[in-house]
Amino acid sequence: MNFHRVKQLHGELTIPGDKSISHRSVMFGSIAKGITEIQGFLPGADCISTINCFRKMGITIEQDHSSVIVHGNGLHGLTKPDSILDCGNSGTTTRLISGILSAQNFSVTLTGDSSIQKRPMARIIDPLCQMGADITSINHNQCAPLHINGTHLHGIHYCSNVASAQVKSAILLAGLYADSPTSVTEPYVSRNHTELMLKQFGAELSCYDTTAAIQPATELYGQSITVPGDISSAAFFLAAGLLVPNSELLIRNVGINPTRDGILRVCKEMGGHITLLNTTNMGEPAADIFVSSSSLKGITIEGSIIPTLIDELPIIALMACFAQGTTTIKDAAELKVKESNRIAVMVKNLTAMGADVKETEDGMIIHGGKPLHGAIIDTKFDHRIAMTFAIAGMLADGETTLQNPECVTISYPEFYNDLKRCIQQ
Ligand code: S3P
pLDDT digits (tens, 9 = 90+) for 354-366: 999 999 999 999 9
Cα(127)–Cα(143) distance, rounded to whole angstroms? 15
- If one residue of 93, 160, 190 were mutated to test the ligand 1 pocket, choosing by the most ligand atoms within 8 A of its CB, it would be 190
Q: Is the pLDDT of residue 425 over 70?
A: no
Q: Which atom of ligand 1 lies closest to the CA of 337?
A: 15
**Residues 81, 52: Cα–Cα separation, whole Å:** 11
Q: How confident is the model at residue 424 (pLDDT cuts 50, 70, 90)?
A: confident
Candidates 91, 14, 7, 5; CA nearest to 249 is: 14
For the segment 121-179, what is each residue's pLDDT rounded down to a tens digit?
999 999 999 999 999 999 999 999 999 999 999 999 999 999 999 999 999 999 999 99
Average of pLDDT values for 105-119?
Answer: 97
91 is in an annotated binding site: yes
Q: Kindly write down the DSSP assignment for every residue of 55-75, as one continuous string.
A: HHTT-EEEEETTEEEEEEE-T
Which residues does the annotation mark as catalytic? 311
pLDDT of residue 21: 98
Question: Is residue 19 marked as binding?
Answer: yes
For 322-342, what is each residue's pLDDT tens digit? 999 999 999 999 999 999 999
> Given CA atoms 322, 323, 329, 334 in this order, what sign does their dihedral have?
negative
342 is in an annotated binding site: yes
Torsion angle of the four alpha carbons 172, 174, 180, 184, in this order, in degrees rounded to the nearest 10: -30
What's the mean pLDDT when you consider all of the chain? 98
Helix, strand or coil, per DSSP, at residue 365: strand
Q: Is 70 exceeded by the pLDDT of residue 267?
A: yes
Residue 269: band (very low, low, confident or very high) from pLDDT cuts 50, 70, 90 = very high
Q: How far is CA 129 from CA 11, 97, 101, in A?
A: 51, 15, 12
Global pTM exceeds 0.95: yes
Nearest CA to ligand 1 atom 16: 164
Ligand 1 residue neighbourhood (C-beta within 6 Å): 20, 92, 164-166, 169, 190-191, 310-311, 334
Give per-residue pLDDT as tens, 198-252.
999 999 999 999 999 999 999 999 999 999 999 999 999 999 999 999 999 999 9
Task: State the Cα–Cα distance between residues 191 and 175, nearest whole angstrom.
Answer: 18
